[in-house]
Structure 1
Amino acid sequence: MRDVTLWREPVPPDGTMGEPLARGRFGEYGGRYAPESLVEACHEVEAAFREAWTDPGFRGALARLLAVHAGRPTPLTPADRLSEALGVRLLLKREDLTHTGSHKINNVLGQALLAVRMGRRRLIAETGAGQHGVATATAAALLGLGATVFMGERDIERQALNVFRMRMLGAEVVPVTAGSRTLKDATSEAMRHWVGATGEAHYCVGSVVGPDPYPWMVREFQRVIGEEARAQCAAELRTGVPDHVVACVGGGSNAAGTFAGFADTPARLVGVEAEGGAGASRGRLGVLHGCRSLFLQDDDGQIVEAHSISAGLDYPGVGPEHAHLRDLGRARYVTVTDEEAVEAAVRLARTEGIVPALESAHALAWVIRAAGDGELPSGSTVLMTLSGRGDKDVSTLKELL
């Protein structure tokens, strides 16, 4: 089913996406709904992050790692042939060109440095598509930390390459057999594991979800995407700012980081969800994994299993700041189907020589659809974050094509 929601008149750009309100709130969303045994650990993470984020030494160390290890800044690539076919000017922010192949490394390097600063010896992580797990294993190896990665059994089967990469980097990969055996259950198991390990391990949350301060902290570590893209667009575009800024959304970290660079501009912000995992588009208010946000639920308030061909979008909710941006009208959230995402991935490969991750292909699918039906006027400029490369999805695509 296609999204047919019309644009709402957005709130005037006003510096939205700053620090959250008291108790980690973004409007009515967010907060710290953690077990009593984790409340103090969350306080410690918040205090450490606040101190580190105002420390030029920490910021400098992170900037250096992002440059010499992750390969930042990533380029802004004009998709010339596809732009000509669509009648819009499409610019791709190339997070697929970072070390490890996705935007996840930006956040993980920040949290790993924070863990060292806090005296922690091990990183705990959850992963769906495996990219966050690979990034966590990479940062742990780089900084001499241990790594324990929880991954749903179904995702282990469809992301075998990334599982091998994590193990080669020295991480322990723990299969999760409960529930849907995907990202939601991997997150639950990672949080349970953290309960008994707060003194020696840091939970490296992979998206803008979880209890405060994680949604804010992860967004700040991913803000580098939007800030770089803002400067690059200023040099590339006559207007300096694109008409539309588009990114895929599961929990929503690459979108949050991208949007943060443009929240105070007239650009329209568009988050693209999987049809079967549309927390922002069709979710209801609830609490999961330590925060209050929008989640897919049944009539009894039980979390409904999400579905997506892309393991990274297979999550039944959305980060609390995205829910707030939706309510404000500052960002719009739309959905695309598995079939549209696969078609978009093939089209980008054959027009621009880029094989995108299936997560990123969802964002591209909406751009293609919106340009075709006139929702993106001819001549519009569109910045799209290409959050990851498609190596991990080759087996899935091979079965379908």
Structure 2
Amino acid sequence: MTEKKNFAQMPDERGYFGDYGGQVVPPFLKEVMDQINTAYEEIRKTDDFQNELAMLYADYVGRPSPIYYARRLSEKLGGAQIYLKREDLNHTGAHKINHCLGEALLAKYMGKTKVLAETGAGQHGVALATACALVDIPCEIYMGQVDIEKEAPNVTKMKILGCNIVPVTQGAATLKEAVDSAFEAYLQDPENMFYAIGSVVGPHPFPKMVRDFQSVVGTEARAQFMERLNKLPDHVAACVGGGSNAIGIFSAFLDDDVNLVGVEPAGEGLDKPGRHAATLTLGKPGVLHGMETYVISDEDGEAGQVQSVASGLDYPGIGPQHSYLKDIGRVDYQNATDVECLEAFMTLSRTEGIIPALESSHAVAWAMRVAPTLAKDQHILVNLSGRGDKDVDYVAERLGL
């Protein structure tokens, strides 16, 4: 296995993880990105920043989030024992608050006057609106019209928190278009605005920064599993869209003899172009949103149409570190369909009384598929990256409940 020092030293000074990452942006924007990187490297090492972030993680977010033994689900499936890292219990209901607090604090320390971002399922939007309210910085969120209609509870929360929501109607009107629109708005005044990217995507230093803030998930989970079971999990699984929750938990296990599994959205089927978002399964290396990474492209080489029942995974790209981890074979990237996702959503709800986010349900679906094939002394740790409050109306309508 690749030595740990290789992972720890990534990205390189140009923002690359192997062949992926970088800053594929105009020269004036590269200068702004470099300024953010310099400020991040300086500010994050200060006691004031570290102490404030640690205090907020503990007293505001409620960290550490627990790991939970899903006994009834494990017994129902037979085979491996399933544990959940309960990021759904965080304030705002998902892992997104981990990096949103870090980014909002960084914007405050840099003297920025406005924070803007994109959101798909709304979890990043809610978390960022929450963090901006806390640090008293205006917040503007770009969200596809399709997702606005699908994720109404999160839209309402963002409005209550004082966030300005900008509907995006062009194209498929989902996450990719929201990113495009937010980035265009950011280009109008990058000196005074801070673009709080919602995943481990975009130009350097954002994949690095978001990974660093999310690494708290993996650090906690590894220590908790060792303390509880005196061993590491045999398998660690997480859903993958842009890839922030996955890289957050994977980061602590990269040098261990642990099978890491990223679960992409197969949507309505891998055989249906435009109706899935399995970027690492069927995509190819390309350029998207300022980075070199795997991309699902159309015949003209542009980012192609994608679809997932989970709005937060509805993205034709992937974080560059995931592209690297795929190429070297360190992470096994699997997928789950919309049907499997909905089945996992309902099964976890009715066996454990835990309603998961549709995004997280993809990882649960993989665990449900694989657990019966493994021995009972095997352990699967699933990163339950968010709760499903935002999804219940959609699921009820979809399933006729």
Query: TM-score normalised to the size of structure 2?
Result: 0.95
Q: Which residue of 1 aligns with 2:397?
A: 399
> 1:258 corresponds to which letter in structure 2?
I
Q: Which residue of 2 aligns with 1:219?
A: 211
> 1:325 corresponds to which letter in structure 2?
L
Helix, strand or coil at the partner of 1:286: strand
Tell me the CA shift for residue 18 of structure 1. 3.9
**For residues 123-202 of structure 1, what are the structure 2 equivalents within 5 Å?**
123-202=115-194
> 1:328 corresponds to which letter in structure 2?
I
Equivalents in 1 of 2:9, 2:363: separation in Å?
25
Which region of structure 1 is more displaced relative to structure 2, 67-76 or 295-304?
295-304
> Is 1:366 the equivalent of 2:358?
no
Equivalents in 1 of 2:23, 2:8: separation in Å?
18
Q: Which residue of 2 aligns with 1:4?
A: none
> Is 1:356 the equivalent of 2:374?
no
Instruction: Give a deviation string over 1:25-44, Cα, whole Å, max 9, x none.
Output: 00000000123332121111
Aligned pair partner of 2:383 in 364, 376, 385: 385
> 1:340 corresponds to which letter in structure 2?
E
Question: Are the aligned partners of 1:243 and 1:380 in contact in 2 as well (CA < 8 Å)?
Answer: yes
Equivalents in 2 of 1:297, 1:237: separation in Å?
44
Q: Which residue of 1 aligns with 2:331?
A: 331
Equivalents in 2 of 1:109, 1:314: separation in Å?
24
> 1:117 corresponds to which letter in structure 2?
Y
Instruction: Give a deviation string over 1:320-344, Cα, whole Å, max 9, x none.
Output: 0000001111101011100000000
Equivalents in 1 of 2:359, 2:8: separation in Å?
23
> 1:382 corresponds to which letter in structure 2?
I
> Is 1:90 the equivalent of 2:88?
no
Q: Give the superposed CA RMSD.
A: 1.2
Equivalents in 1 of 2:32, 2:149: separation in Å?
33
> 2:235 corresponds to which letter in structure 1?
H
Equivalents in 2 of 1:64, 1:84: separation in Å?
38
Helix, strand or coil at the partner of 1:91: strand
Equivalents in 2 of 1:116, 1:12: separation in Å?
37
Question: Are the aligned partners of 2:309 and 2:358 in contact in 1 as well (CA < 8 Å)?
Answer: yes
Equivalents in 2 of 1:124, 1:104: separation in Å?
15
Question: Are the aligned partners of 2:81 and 2:371 in contact in 1 as well (CA < 8 Å)?
Answer: no
Tell me the CA shift for residue 12 of structure 1. 6.1
Q: Which residue of 2 aligns with 1:210?
A: 202
> 2:116 corresponds to which letter in structure 1?
I
Q: Which residue of 1 aligns with 2:320?
A: 320
Helix, strand or coil at the partner of 1:211: coil
Question: Are the aligned partners of 2:97 and 2:124 in contact in 1 as well (CA < 8 Å)?
Answer: yes
Question: Are the aligned partners of 1:93 and 1:385 in contact in 2 as well (CA < 8 Å)?
Answer: yes
Q: Which residue of 1 aligns with 2:269?
A: none
- Give unmatched runs, 5+ long, in structure 1: 1-9
Q: Which residue of 2 aligns with 1:3?
A: none
Q: Which residue of 2 aligns with 1:295?
A: 295
Question: Are the aligned partners of 1:15 and 1:264 in contact in 2 as well (CA < 8 Å)?
Answer: no
Identical amino acids, percent of aligned pairs: 49
Paired residues in the alignment total: 389
Aligned pair partner of 2:32 in 25, 41, 53: 41
Instruction: Give a deviation string over 1:160-181, Cα, whole Å, max 9, x none.
Output: 1111110110000000111110
Aligned pair partner of 1:62 in 32, 53, 70: 53
Aligned pair partner of 1:229 in 211, 221, 225: 221
Give structure 1 regions of 4+ aligned residues with deviation exceeding 3 angstroms: 10-15
Which region of structure 1 is more displaced relative to structure 2, 160-169 or 28-37?
28-37
Equivalents in 2 of 1:121, 1:353: separation in Å?
42
Q: Which residue of 2 aligns with 1:278?
A: 278
